[in-house]
Amino acid sequence: MKSVKVLAPATIANLVCGFDILGLAINNPKDIMEVSLKDEPGIIIHHKDEHDLPTEPSRNVAGVALMSMLEEVKDAPGFEITIDKRIKPGSGLGSSAASAAGIVVAANHLLENRFSKDDLVRFAMAGEKLASGVKHADNIAPCILGGVTLIRCIFPLDIVKLTAPPMYVTVVHPQIEVKTSDARQILRKEVQLKNAIKQWGNIAGLVAGLMKNDYELIGRSLEDVIIEPVRSILIPGFDLIKKRCKEAGALGGGISGSGPSIFMLSKEESVARQLENIMTEIYLQLGIDFKTYVTTVNYEGVQVVS
Amino acid sequence: MKSVKVLAPATIANLVCGFDILGLAINNPKDIMEVSLKDEPGIIIHHKDEHDLPTEPSRNVAGVALMSMLEEVKDAPGFEITIDKRIKPGSGLGSSAASAAGIVVAANHLLENRFSKDDLVRFAMAGEKLASGVKHADNIAPCILGGVTLIRCIFPLDIVKLTAPPMYVTVVHPQIEVKTSDARQILRKEVQLKNAIKQWGNIAGLVAGLMKNDYELIGRSLEDVIIEPVRSILIPGFDLIKKRCKEAGALGGGISGSGPSIFMLSKEESVARQLENIMTEIYLQLGIDFKTYVTTVNYEGVQVVS
């Protein structure tokens, strides 16, 4: 039977100042998914990892995303999916988005690419909704499109792909649990206008910096006066890591998505590796298990490898 | 004695969704300023117009901006300034910014361009403070630099010049008074986070649209869910003008600065002229005196003409 293998990249939502609108795809970690068509309708899901995720399609992110696509396919075939999840659930690195984005790209490939990328984002968002209770696209869009994406508007969906210069990305994932729903609940529903103005100055600066390849402007704009001050309390060592990484030459960085992972951007690999050392040192001292990644911007999104 | 003549363009602050951070220079109207050096220190100001603005330097926007510059000049010469103000004070078209920006560019030219453009913005902001009570730069920056400018941050000042495609700008200035201080006071000090998110999606979209020359994206992003719903109440006919202009093909538009002028952007001159007709018709019906302009983006800022 026809089958395909795809790699679905981890993603960093928000990019510090762009809460709910910006996202960035990175080259490591990546989920591996193998998807085959089968004659009888129905979806079968296997896991090759140890995350103990549900395999029942209606309770699985990839399953729900695929079902959402198949609603628009006449005489849909069946699918058998094997997921090797390398992006740990709950890491803040877009684990559920990778499942949702990976399956819709794979299935679309098997169905002769009948759907547009905007359609794929829409189907994958149904999967995200299962994971977080909210239909959001700030991980889905960069996972499918690669690079940096802007969700200008969610209803109706308006996704804008932004250019971005090559950058190194250092990530640390402290092995603690921060639930997306908790991270959302602690946010205040109102913000001060003067802080909102600071935030949109930084967002505009970040977009301009990315599009002009102006690393200094990117660095100056990576400041979040609204979300980070509240959410960072949930992440031990956050302030110290940020301070020391910036002193060591990071352009800037912050919480990845709703955490607990922390990411830092830099222009040079040597700096990126030094940031990994700083993160390692701090979490060793704190006695918290962690995993680090030194990687780069992923420009292609979910990749069909065979 | 050495003398210079400069043209200082009108400017549109905020650009709908970029409250306090974005501004755009336009080619009409423009103030005309003639500035001469004189041997004896001191500043003499003449007005060639009928706006009855103060001529005492410490009470005149151009005077205050120039004094702010001269604080950093050893053995400063004297200046004689003649202002022909074509940008009506209180129009929302950056009238005071044009005075402040025009004089500092003229004086810097006479002082052999010893100051950078960032310095000039800083001096001119002192003049703006006299006019509005607040040191802001969203009219000053585009007036000096031309095109579209972003004030990423006001303290410390961080100005980013953005590229922008050619556009037509239709402006109507209803001859009613809206004080900047009143227009600021009616704003709520807190905004809903969900509205702030919509706003920063639009700001990011507008910056990306301007830099990509994507007229449709510019149009979709010209939406303000925070300031306009409050301020537009002060401007008779606003909702109807906006609705009819968009139906007629305007990319979008809104309040210029804190009003009362309304501006609309369009890609084609024919559309821009049609928008002028719509604005004319509506204000004739309302029985409010008004003035219209059909102009283009000014890319050079304050211009030294002789």
For residue B148, which phi and psi values (nearest 5 degrees)? -105, 130
The reply to whether B187 and B290 lie within a common domain is yes
For residue A161, which phi and psi values (nearest 5 degrees)? -85, 130
Per-residue model confidence (pLDDT) at position A177:
84
Per-residue model confidence (pLDDT) at position A178:
80
> What's the CATH number where A272 sits?
3.30.70.890
pLDDT of A66-117, one tens digit each?
Answer: 999 999 999 899 999 999 999 999 999 999 999 999 999 999 999 999 999 9
Distance between CA atoms of residues B123 and B137, nearest Å: 10
Look at residue B182 and tell me whether its pLDDT is greater than 90. Answer: no
Q: Which domain holds residue B97?
A: 3-163+299-304
The reply to whether A91 and A190 lie within a common domain is no
Q: Where are the alpha helices (DSSP H) in chain B?
A: 61-70, 95-110, 117-132, 140-145, 180-185, 193-212, 215-221, 228-231, 238-247, 269-286
Active site residue A163: no
The reply to whether B19 and B158 lie within a common domain is yes
SS3 state at B41: coil
Look at residue B139 and tell me whether its pLDDT is greater than 80. Answer: yes
- Our count of domains for chain A comes to 2
Set B11, B34, B128, B295: catalytic member = B128
Which residues lie below 8 Å from residue B75, measured CB to CB, with a gap of 6+?
none
Tokens 């730069």, residue located: B137
Residue B205's closest chain A neighbor by CA? A152
Look at residue B135 and tell me whether its pLDDT is greater than 80. Answer: no
Per-residue model confidence (pLDDT) at position A130:
86
Which helix (H) or strand (E) element contains residue A122?
helix A117-132
- Across chain B, mean pLDDT equals 95
Q: Which of the residue ranges A216-230, B127-141, B184-198, B204-218 would you say has the lowest mean pLDDT?
A: B127-141
Task: Give just the sign of the alpha carbon dihedral A95, A99, A100, A104.
Answer: positive
The reply to whether B66 and B150 lie within a common domain is yes
Rounded to a whole number, what is the largest CA-CA distance in chain B? 59
Per-residue model confidence (pLDDT) at position B261:
98
Cα angle for residues B24, B30, B34 (degrees, 5° grid): 130
> What's the CATH number where B82 sits?
3.30.230.10
For A279-291, give the DSSP string.
Answer: HHHHHHHHT--EE
Q: What is the mean pLDDT of residues A124-135?
A: 85
Angstrom CA distances, A80 to A71, A85, A105, A111, A147, stand at 17, 16, 14, 14, 29
The reply to whether A29 and A153 lie within a common domain is yes
Residue A164's closest chain B neighbor by CA? B208
Look at residue A179 and tell me whether its pLDDT is greater than 80. Answer: no
**Nearest-10 Cα torsion for A62, A67, A72, A78:** 100
- The residue among B179, B174, B175 whose CA lies nearest residue B133 is B179
Per-residue model confidence (pLDDT) at position B238:
98
Grade residue B285 by pLDDT with cuts at 50, 70 and 90.
very high
Better-predicted residue by pLDDT, A79 or B49 = A79
B200/A198 touch (CB, cutoff 8 Å), yes or no:
no
The reply to whether B173 and B280 lie within a common domain is yes
B226/A193 touch (CB, cutoff 8 Å), yes or no:
yes
Look at residue A182 and tell me whether its pLDDT is greater than 90. Answer: no
Grade residue A132 by pLDDT with cuts at 50, 70 and 90.
confident
The reply to whether A49 and A137 lie within a common domain is yes
The reply to whether B19 and B124 lie within a common domain is yes
Is omega for the bond preceding A29 within 30 degrees of 0, making it cis?
A: yes
For residue B146, which phi and psi values (nearest 5 degrees)? 80, 170
Distance between CA atoms of residues A98 and A20, nearest Å: 17
Per-residue model confidence (pLDDT) at position A183:
79
Look at residue B124 and tell me whether its pLDDT is greater than 90. Answer: yes
Instruction: With beta carbons under 8 A apart, name residues in chain B contacting A200.
Output: 18-19, 21, 196, 199-200, 203
Per-residue model confidence (pLDDT) at position B228:
96
Grade residue B185 by pLDDT with cuts at 50, 70 and 90.
confident
Look at residue B184 and tell me whether its pLDDT is greater than 90. Answer: no
pLDDT of B228-245, one tens digit each?
Answer: 999 999 999 999 999 999
Look at residue B133 and tell me whether its pLDDT is greater than 80. Answer: no
Look at residue B60 and tell me whether its pLDDT is greater than 80. Answer: yes
The reply to whether B180 and B109 lie within a common domain is no
Look at residue B179 and tell me whether its pLDDT is greater than 80. Answer: no
Nearest-neighbour CA in chain A from B125: distance (Å):
18
Q: What is the CA radius of gyration of chain A?
A: 19
Per-residue model confidence (pLDDT) at position A181:
74
Nearest-neighbour CA in chain B from A151: distance (Å):
7
The reply to whether B107 and B66 lie within a common domain is yes
Angstrom CA distances, A195 to A198, A199, A223, A229, stand at 5, 6, 11, 12
- The residue among A273, A278, A244, A239 whose CA lies nearest residue A255 is A239
| Residues of chain A that touch chain B, judged by Cβ-Cβ distance less than 8 Å | 18-22, 150-153, 158, 160, 162, 187-194, 196-209, 211-212, 217, 220-221, 226
The reply to whether B99 and B241 lie within a common domain is no
Task: Give the predicted TM-score (pTM) of the model.
Answer: 0.96
Per-residue model confidence (pLDDT) at position B1:
73
pLDDT of B254-275, one tens digit each?
Answer: 999 999 999 999 999 999 999 9
The reply to whether A10 and A86 lie within a common domain is yes
What token pair was written down for B175?
A: 């001859």
- Across chain A, mean pLDDT equals 95
Per-residue model confidence (pLDDT) at position B232:
95
